[in-house]
Structure 1
């Protein structure tokens, strides 16, 4: 009996050692990073920047796979239902990981059906019009919407996408109903941008990143940005608070790494340590800033709190505007 107990103890010791070694060696094969939006989108560029810089810290590549659809819900659902081994992760976004779960209860996952690995960046929104539009200020745009309800339109990347939600938040902040301006859905923020440039829509609340080139070229005028301070690269564009709509400061985008629920702690730690190294990686910092985002790497615990706070804000907004789908 004593000999059997000793043998079991020895076997258990080696088993624990083998498991610990397996986790310590993670990753042992390529990792799939699901991008919930199409090629060239803000999320796609952020995904590829992270993938490129992660080569310095991981022995295996992180391969970006675009899986667009339903405001990011398709890729998020794939991740939530995936095997929690760390080899399929999601470049989560505010839309599919906070806003849509708060506003649409029919999607196939909940806000906490994930492992919160780490928020990486904050992306401000900017409300834009074409350079030849008559609206010189955000207030002038709002006044035009009030004057002829239902005439002006704005592009979105889908129903209840962040572009759609920020547009409704603007209308709500101005004391207008959500149908005071027409929301026109497109496949992504790039298509919504093209629509604005073509004159098919009259204004666009979009992520800063895809709008930087057309603002710099003078094709588009930025009326207000959702940061608390003016952007260093566009010092002439007022903040939403300066423009008279301080509640729109809550309208920010963000990116972060999410995995299926119940990922091994050791794997989460490996990812979290890699993300912390990005905070001092000059290449990643430079690329992120050039894409119009603000580096904001958070720990898993900080990320979970941040996301749940965002979820609660969107739920309150949705209930106020009566747009929650049950």
Structure 2
């Protein structure tokens, strides 16, 4: 497992993750006066949902808050993000989502009525390790073999959960001169069910596929991040296949833009403390991933950089 040094100072000891104590959260006196809702931007059962529910339970234990979790899937996270934009900045709503609907969708779709500057970002939960995967019994084990399958059968279908992944699917197909057809889904869990049910030829996943690969149910055809991943160290990246393509994202926490400074400090501390918990580190271990809290400054810088990149890309 790859260990990342996060804002709450994790240490690698004999191949294990050990968290040093996080700073206690400092919240305004009397806050909260009612439940603090976590809204997951994707459907139940996916990786983002697992993160939201795990951290909500930890925060209830650590802080004594009531933290109900609801799911608001749709348009790859854009539905929940749109609703958040008009939500009162009082600290009672936190979105558990991803970078991509915020830094990509405003430039990929005219129907999106927000951009990355409309929100406050108290922290991130993990980097998403995207992979292109298929059922183990499919007649292909690599991306090149999937391209051959598409060439012989006229096309290959790939379930996705975001607009930028749909474009990536088409771009990969164009590289091989075949038709890769993206099949939009309501979140990664829905995309995975399409693959497990045999309704598509492959799927792009960010976390759920890792356990499926470990169980021998799926194989990774290509790694979509810039470097190889620990759960599939022998699988090539798109760059290694000869493409200047990749998929990068973080699972993040998002709140209304004008959140008072005292509440900003509160949620930064609450998130940091929760991410240092044994329960969260165990979840990351199950994902064969690493906790990665960039903090508000680091995450804001990342959002600006990626938004600039995708704005230029979709303007071409």
How far apart are residue 188 of structure 1 and its match? 3.1
Show the 5 A alignment for 1:10-21. Answer: none
Give the one of 280, 284, 306 matched to 1:284.
Answer: 280
| Structure 1 match to 2:233 | 235
Query: 1:1-326 alignment to 2 at 5 Å?
Result: 23-145=28-150, 147=151, 151-157=155-161, 160=163, 162-171=164-173, 174=175, 176=177, 180-207=179-206, 209-245=207-243, 247-248=245-246, 251-278=247-274, 280-320=276-316
- Structure-1 separation of matches of 2:315 and 2:79: 24
Question: SS at the partner of 1:296?
Answer: coil
For structure 1, which runs of at least 5 residues remain unmatched after alignment?
Answer: 1-20, 321-326
Shift of residue 79 of structure 1?
A: 1.1
What's the TM-score once normalised by structure 1's chain length?
0.79
TM superposition shift of 1:245: 3.6
C-alpha separation between the residues in 2 aligned to 1:268 and 1:55? Answer: 18
Contact conserved, 1:28 with 1:60, CA < 8 A, in 2? no
What are the superposed Cα offsets for residues 117-172 of structure 1, whole Å, 9 maximum, x if unpaired?
21221111111122222323222323444x359521111236x1x54244234335
Compared CA separation, residues 165 and 46, structure 1 to 2 (3 A):
farther
The C-alpha deviation readout for 1:269-302, integer Å capped at 9, x for no partner, is 1111222334533321221231344311022111
Q: Deviations over 1:5-61 (max 9, x none)?
A: xxxxxxxxxxxxxxxx98344323210111111110221111111112223442312
Measure, in 1, the Cα distance between the counterparts of 2:34 and 2:28. Answer: 12
| Contact preservation (8 Å) 1:117, 1:271 | yes
Gaps of at least 5 residues in structure 2 are 1-25
| TM-superposition CA deviations, 1:81-101 (whole Å, max 9, x none) | 010011111112133222212
Tell whether the 8 Å contact from 1:35 to 1:65 is kept in structure 2 after alignment. Answer: yes
1:224 positional shift:
2.0
8 Å contact kept, 1:166–1:205: no
Alpha carbons of 1:303 and 1:197: their partners in 2 closer, same or farther (altered >3 Å)?
A: same
Choose between structure 1 and 2 for higher RCO, CA contacts under 8 A separated by at least 6 residues: 2
SS of residue paired to 2:158: strand
Cα distance change on mapping 1:163 and 1:41 into 2, 3 Å: farther
SS in 2 for 1:300: helix
Say how many residue pairs are matched. Answer: 291
Q: Report the Cα offset of residue 225 of structure 1.
A: 2.0
Hey, what's the Cα distance between the residues in 1 that align with 2:165 and 2:245? 16
Within 2, Cα distance between the matches of 1:213 and 1:122? 17
What residue number does 1:4 align with? none
Q: Quote the offset at 1:175 in angstroms.
A: 6.3
Whole-angstrom CA distance in 1 between matches of 2:32 and 2:167: 38
Match in the other structure for 1:8: none
Relative to its length, the structure with more helix (as a share) is 1
Q: Would the aligned equivalents of 2:122 and 2:268 in 1 still touch at CA under 8 Å?
A: yes
